[in-house]
Chains A and B, each alone.
Chain A
């Protein structure tokens, strides 16, 4: 599946300024792995011990993946995966 992954402003220094990456993946985990293989420094910023860091939110089509199957949430062709800080609001 060809999907897009949106990178938050705080991490764009590690993608050469790119805010939107096009990758292949059938789950969120696969899509993120594809992102990490292109930009290795992102892995430790976004994940810890194979899981998402606790202050990172990931959305597929605007829905928090914790309402789905977490990192195993399935992706359809053209899906939009958005990574955002979890420390806003209230």
Chain B
């Protein structure tokens, strides 16, 4: 593409009524209150030239800058992306899947602050700087807090981070260390989110997931782009992905759809399987009941990073699961702990509770026989196990011995041979 043909952010458009807005810090349609979404001008797009440009690009998400709502490549030092996509044959075997099934783990804990949130924050902060903001903020269940604080520190922006005050200690520490103003709100994430929606009207701040949400959310598309590239420019048959607000779930779909429409990949949109914790499953409940809206719930789950009782993109997540012939399931806290362990023992990847939710739903799908012969499934692991250590505390034993051979022989049982 010549510079004149570069794809470019064109407008913000309401997902409900298609009213168009300028590309400013706006997020809600004044006509119908629907969410605004970034729209691009792809006229003159040349797929083979675009593919060459991507492959010659950076080793992170800025290789996809032409598909993001920013002007060119930002200069932030914490570029996320190009995280490993690992074929998990031992996990597939443990799930008794047919031998020709492929399970692939997209390990997005391998980002600068160890979660997929670095993708959305990198895009939001780049846009915040373009729009002239000097202070950024967010309402977070933890991972976003880590990422906003770190990325703001890296580029010298002021930051205010709002979280529920009962968050995991690891996530509080891994936010405060960056020198942000950390605010613990006595309430649920939904209380934090309401407060931030009100604060966004009072303060001239870039709230990444409030007034900058149309830009922020676009960062999740890069998970789809990487999946396509890492699978040799092909699509998977099915994806399994956690749902909190539903933004990640729906934006991965948008990433695949954009590249299908632009001719960068061919085939069909994969089936989308969403994963929620039973203790906070407004979208899974609505899916099971056949509703096209979500009734809010009060969260009570160890999967705090998914504990959103009023999911902003819930209706769109429901629509996606249905039209892609996927589904949305929920799993108990015990299943979540078992999911964390299963992934760790079969792939060497230690994920946080959200990943435990996702693996537990994969297991449900396998046990119900929904994963057919020859399917290629991509499982999105969105965060790091070291951030939710309480979930891993039970279920193992340390064999304490004296430092001599007799004590070892006496107290450490022989290991059973590992299958496969």
Stretch from B189-197, B231-239, B349-357 at the A interface: B189-197
A90 within 8 A of B: yes
Q: Which residue of B lies closest to A66 (CB)?
A: B296
B295 near A59 with CB under 8 A, answer no
A69 within 8 A of B: no
Query: In the assembled complex, which residues on chain A have CB atoms less than 8 Å from the CB atom of B244?
Result: 90
Query: In the assembled complex, which residues on chain B have CB atoms less than 8 Å from the CB atom of A67?
Result: 296, 298
Q: Which of B33, B191, B308 interacts with A87 by CB under 8 Å?
A: B33
A54 near B194 with CB under 8 A, answer no
A89 near B32 with CB under 8 A, answer no
A11 within 8 A of B: yes
Interface size class, chain A: 20 to 34
CA–CA, A9 to B158, complex, Å?
Answer: 24
A82 within 8 A of B: yes
Question: Per-residue CB proximity of B23-42 to A under 8 Å, as 1/0?
Answer: 00001101111110000000
Q: Which of A19, A59, A90 interacts with B308 by CB under 8 Å?
A: A90
B27 near A57 with CB under 8 A, answer no
A88 near B312 with CB under 8 A, answer yes
Q: Which residue of A lies closest to B202 (CB)?
A: A9
Given A9-B201, A54-B293, A66-B295, are A85 and B246 also a contact pair (CB < 8 Å)? no
Q: Which of A10, A19, A87 interacts with B30 by CB under 8 Å?
A: A10
Query: In the assembled complex, which residues on chain B have CB atoms less than 8 Å from the CB atom of A64?
Result: 190, 296, 310
Interface of A is mostly: mixed
A18 → chain B, closest Cβ, in Å? Answer: 13
Query: In the assembled complex, which residues on chain B have CB atoms less than 8 Å from the CB atom of A62?
Result: 191, 194
Question: Per-residue CB proximity of B206-219 to A under 8 Å, as 1/0?
Answer: 01011001000000
B84 within 8 A of A: no
Given A8-B201, A59-B194, A64-B296, are A90 and B311 also a contact pair (CB < 8 Å)? yes
B103 within 8 A of A: no
A53 near B32 with CB under 8 A, answer yes
Q: Which of B16, B197, B209, B246 interacts with A84 by CB under 8 Å?
A: B197
A86 within 8 A of B: yes
Q: Which of B32, B139, B295: most chain A CB closer than 10 A?
A: B32
Q: Which residue of A lies closest to B192 (CB)?
A: A89
B198 within 8 A of A: yes
B315 within 8 A of A: yes
B196 near A55 with CB under 8 A, answer no
Query: In the assembled complex, which residues on chain A have CB atoms less than 8 Å from the CB atom of B33?
Result: 10, 45-46, 53, 55-56, 85-87
CA–CA, A62 to B16, complex, Å?
Answer: 27
CA–CA, A75 to B209, complex, Å?
Answer: 31
Given A55-B32, A56-B33, are A87 and B27 also a contact pair (CB < 8 Å)? yes
B245 within 8 A of A: yes
Q: Which residue of B lies closest to A85 (CB)?
A: B28
A57 near B194 with CB under 8 A, answer yes
A54 → chain B, closest Cβ, in Å? Answer: 6
B276 → chain A, closest Cβ, in Å? Answer: 13
Question: Per-residue CB proximity of A21-37 to B under 8 Å, as 1/0?
Answer: 00000000000000000
Scan residues 308-338 of chain B and give those whose CB is less than 8 A from a CB of chain A.
308, 310-313, 315
A26 → chain B, closest Cβ, in Å? Answer: 24
CA–CA, A56 to B34, complex, Å?
Answer: 8
B305 → chain A, closest Cβ, in Å? Answer: 11
Q: Which residue of B lies closest to A65 (CB)?
A: B296
* Known interface pairs A87-B27, A89-B193; 15 further A-B residue pairs with C-beta atoms within 8 A, sorted by A's residue number: A45-B33, A53-B32, A55-B16, A56-B33, A64-B296, A82-B194, A84-B197, A86-B312, A87-B28, A87-B213, A88-B197, A88-B210, A89-B310, A90-B209, A90-B244
Selected A-B contacts with CB under 8 Å, 5 pairs: A55-B28, A88-B213, A89-B196, A89-B245, A90-B244
Residues of A that sit less than 8 Å from B by CB: 8-11, 13, 19, 45-46, 53-57, 59, 62, 64, 66-67, 82, 84-90
